[in-house]
Amino acid sequence: MKPQPVRGMNDVLPEATVIWQYVEGLVRDVLQSYGYREIRLPLLEQTELFRRSIGEVTDIVEKEMYTFLDRNGESLTLRPEGTAGMARAGITNGLLYNQRQKLWTSGPMFRYEKPQKGRYRQFYQIDVEAMGYDGPDVDAELIIMSARIWERLGLSRLRLEINSLGTTESRQQYREVLVAYFEGVRDQLDEDSLRRLEQNPMRILDSKNPDLRAVIEAAPVMLDYLDEESRVHFAELCEILDAAGIDYTVNSRLVRGLDYYTRTVFEWITDALGSQGAVCSGGRYDGLVEKLGGKATPAIGWAMGVERLVSLFEACGGKAPDQNPDVYVVAVGDAALRASFELVETLRDEMPQLKIELNLGGGSFKSQLKRADKSGAMFAAILGADEVAKKELGLKPLRSDGEQLSIPFDKLAAALASQLQQVG
């Protein structure tokens, strides 16, 4: 039997990585242009970090984490998301002490979810966090920055939903209203929700059970219970977005599945990818850093799912620039092969950007030329014993019907530069 990957975990093959790199590169350029700096974090953290940040009574912590004991008996978890690790790293490294940080990171996340198109057990995120900023201006800038990313990538069919969850204190009041409501419809709740009613009633709102949809639809909404400061914060955010020409809808049902959120939450959703439509989601988490033992630090961020981003890029007709070689070196016979090594390495010194593929594994002139064509290269550089003796090679255009040229070895870089310029 052929070995299989772990269910829900995918190989990203070279044809796909070309697109991934292009998309990730564009995103990175935008993030850096807004002053975000990269941070790289471990894939493993102590389990306790996620329990405390994401919340004990959430789908992620209850059902989806890859948790194990290491050889020392310590409980570790493969990160299901990036925000907890970011906050932890901010505290550990003293990055938040009288400082503000605009950071981004990327890499794989792990959740034991039911795999389907767009939903995997290992998936990649690009995660952005602004820590130490409390105003609605940074909320707006983060959203505007994501809109700029869509524009750079040529994406359409994305809509923005926003909501406010208030402060931890105002949520307490809402919690009481919510409990009273759900107590009244107790007989319609499932087992999970009855348990959550005691422990974390807001998490009933993101139940995936379709039978609960009507009950959840009719539940009171947080927006009606916002404290004054959160109300003003949300109104200012809306004003900045309006002025910036960003379309959004206020979705008072948007609660997000992680406990650390306060105030602003948002999601960019597409209808182009089937049921897994959330491409980028985030929000404010003003209490998290303090809860984890750091100095009180307001913060906000978002994460985008790279698989979904790439799928949407392709669905919108996006293409990565091709990565075919510029020149494929055909070297027939031992003398030619030996000479071609020196030639190619000199060329790499002279033109570091040039993509050069040297024919490996020998073969007849015909079969090498076939490979050259298949590689997608613009030109074949052809060497045989005669060419080596004359210190000249044949430069054959493969994508146009131009003539094959004879080029002295030491003029190859100049000839290629001018030929490549001609073909654009």
Q: Residues interacting with ligand HAM, by CB under 6 A?
A: 81-83, 111, 113, 118-120, 123, 125, 127, 129, 278-283, 301-305, 307-308
Buried/exposed 39-68: b ≥16 CB within 10 Å, e otherwise? bebeeebebebbbbbbbebbbbbeebbbee
Of the pair 222, 288, the CB lying nearest ligand HAM is at 288
Of the pair 252, 404, the CB lying nearest ligand HAM is at 252
Of the pair 189, 292, the CB lying nearest ligand HAM is at 292
Q: How far is the CB of 34 from ligand HAM (least distance, A)?
A: 15
Q: How far is the CB of 237 from ligand HAM (least distance, A)?
A: 15
Give the residue from 321, 18, 316 showing the smallest Cα distance to 154. 316
Sign of CA pseudo-dihedral 234, 235, 237, 241: positive
Q: Taking every pair of C-alpha atoms in the chain, what is the biggest distance, in angstroms? A: 94
Helix (H, G, I), strand (E, B) or coil at 108: strand
Angle subtended at Cα 26 by Cα 146 and Cα 12, rounded to the nearest 5 degrees: 105
Q: How far is the CB of 257 from ligand HAM (least distance, A)?
A: 6
Of the pair 85, 325, the CB lying nearest ligand HAM is at 85
Contacts (Cβ under 8 Å, ≥6 apart) of 197: 179, 182, 183, 186, 189, 204
Of the pair 284, 396, the CB lying nearest ligand HAM is at 284
Q: Do 129 and 332 touch, CB atoms closer than 8 A?
A: no
Of the pair 59, 392, the CB lying nearest ligand HAM is at 59
Residue 367 CB burial class (10 angstroms; 0-12, 13-18, ≥19): middle
Contacts (Cβ under 8 Å, ≥6 apart) of 261: 165, 255, 283, 284, 285
Of the pair 84, 398, the CB lying nearest ligand HAM is at 84
Strands (E) in 183-323, as ranges, are 249-250, 262-270, 278-284, 299-305
Q: How far is the CB of 110 from ligand HAM (least distance, A)?
A: 9
Helix (H, G, I), strand (E, B) or coil at 71: coil
Q: How far is the CB of 423 from ligand HAM (least distance, A)?
A: 39
Q: How far is the CB of 72 from ligand HAM (least distance, A)?
A: 28
Q: How far is the CB of 41 from ligand HAM (least distance, A)?
A: 12
Please name the amino acid found at residue 365: F
Q: How far is the CB of 361 from ligand HAM (least distance, A)?
A: 39
Q: Do 335 and 388 touch, CB atoms closer than 8 A?
A: yes
State the alpha helices, DSSP H only, in 262-333: 288-291, 306-315
Give the separation between CA 227 and CA 396, rounded to whole angstroms: 73
| Tokens read off for 240 | 């900045």
Give the separation between CA 70 and CA 3, rounded to whole angstroms: 26
Q: How far is the CB of 260 from ligand HAM (least distance, A)?
A: 8
The residue number whose beta carbon is nearest to ligand HAM equals 305
Of the pair 37, 374, the CB lying nearest ligand HAM is at 37
Of the pair 108, 220, the CB lying nearest ligand HAM is at 108
Of the pair 202, 279, the CB lying nearest ligand HAM is at 279
Q: Do 238 and 261 touch, CB atoms closer than 8 A?
A: no
Q: How far is the CB of 127 from ligand HAM (least distance, A)?
A: 5
